[in-house]
Amino acid sequence: MTDVDVIKVTGGVRLAGEVGVVGAKNSALKLMAVALLASGQSEITNVPRITDIALMGEVLRRLGATVDFEADVVRVDVPERLHPEADYDLVRRLRASICVLGPLLARCGEVRVAHPGGDAIGSRGLDMHVNGLAKMGADITGEHGFVVASAPSGLHGARISLDFPSVGATENLVMAAVLARGTTVIDNVAREPEIVDICEMLNAMGAQIEGAGSAELTVHGVTSLNPVTHATIGDRIVAGTWAFGAAMTQGDVTVLGCDPRWLEIALDKIAQAGGQIDHGEDSFRVRMPDRPRAVDIRTLPFPGFATDLLPMAIGMASVAEGMSMITENIFDGRFMFAEELKRLGADIKIEGHHAMVRGRERLSCAEVTASDIRAGAGLVIAGLCGDGITTVRAVHHIDRGYPNFVDDLRTLGVEVIRAETPADPVYTL
């Protein structure tokens, strides 16, 4: 039986102090894929040291690139010729690795990428990726769990309209379009700050992209790109986690390294709940002097409330005064987290994609299990609102999105330990 790591937190603590945020996981992973579009060495700075980054590094190595890590810097040295197949054993562990589809097709004229895995948070199809690349001249099929695409004559510009502002589809199509012949116009694209970050790196490499941050991107294809050095933007989801942590524990937390404009809706909801928000240029402070008040929240594509912050929203609602309605509009599996939160005494009723949450003054302690990155962090923070020691299992999920999570908790005044415990036994007939 293999031991597994758990995090144990003692409840009844208010978060207080300063905490720094490093580069955004959801940006850094894709910037590493962007590097594939230019031969030579690109350098990406302010990269979080998390397991997903290490996995992405191995994905790129198997494609033929040389990847080196040093502190918060990743160097990706890309050869003239890449291996156009992304192996199943890695891709299934990291959904973000599907973003190599666009760059490999643009560089190699062919690609074979396994269907991705990732967090258990609901269905995330590849239809928009496939349909958009097909409009750009790619022949795409599926075989034995792989997406297989080819464009022997190269990709060409097209007009593409996305059914939904998918982050992944936007990323793949933009990365493919920068080396396509002619002009590609992509309508109803994702507007997340991470998309803007990708476009800024691509433009620095010599791409010609207009409209980053708006609902329409215009990409004028170029024949080649050059390697660059680029700094990753701060992680707004990690920053938002600490913001909700301050609100839930009636704390006082200053978050450094994240532009508060990227969390405008989330911080506004905390303010509606009674929080006091101070905005800085690349920082913000959240104070919650009293028990938070109930607020209704619904997730939407950026600039709406981020689905990745849903566990924290439900957590705040669980200790708020009154009844909150939390609505999930992005992923149909996000409410898996709610079942674990109920084990901490939360009063939650799920109806379709709505969660009705009646707040309690305090939660209780229990052993719970993380189902994904954000659920894991949300359960740890919720444990701070309990009356004893809460143990969170499967914390390897947290490692995929939060560097130095336990150290940051200690910095904010939490009594926390990370320890090994025996894994659950496996019974067979």
Catalytic pick from 52, 72, 119, 259?
Answer: 119
What is the residue type of 105?
L
Asked if residue 95 belongs to a known ligand binding site, the reply is yes
Asked if residue 330 belongs to a known ligand binding site, the reply is yes
User: Listing from the earlier edge strand, what are the strands of the sheet with 146-150?
Assistant: 85-86, 110-114, 146-150, 139-143
d(CA 140, CA 131): 9
Query: How deeply is 62 buried, as exposed, middle or buried, from its count of CB atoms within 10 A (0-12, 13-18, 19+)?
Result: middle
Q: Give, rounded to a whole angstrom, the gap between the first and last alpha carbons of the chain.
A: 17
What is the CA 353 to chain-centroid distance, rounded? 21
* Catalytic annotation present for 119: yes
Asked if residue 26 belongs to a known ligand binding site, the reply is yes
Cite the active site residues.
119
- Residue ranges for the known binding site are 25-26, 95, 308, 330
- State the binding site for UDP-N-acetyl-alpha-D-glucosamine: 95, 308, 330
Annotated binding-site positions for phosphoenolpyruvate:
25-26
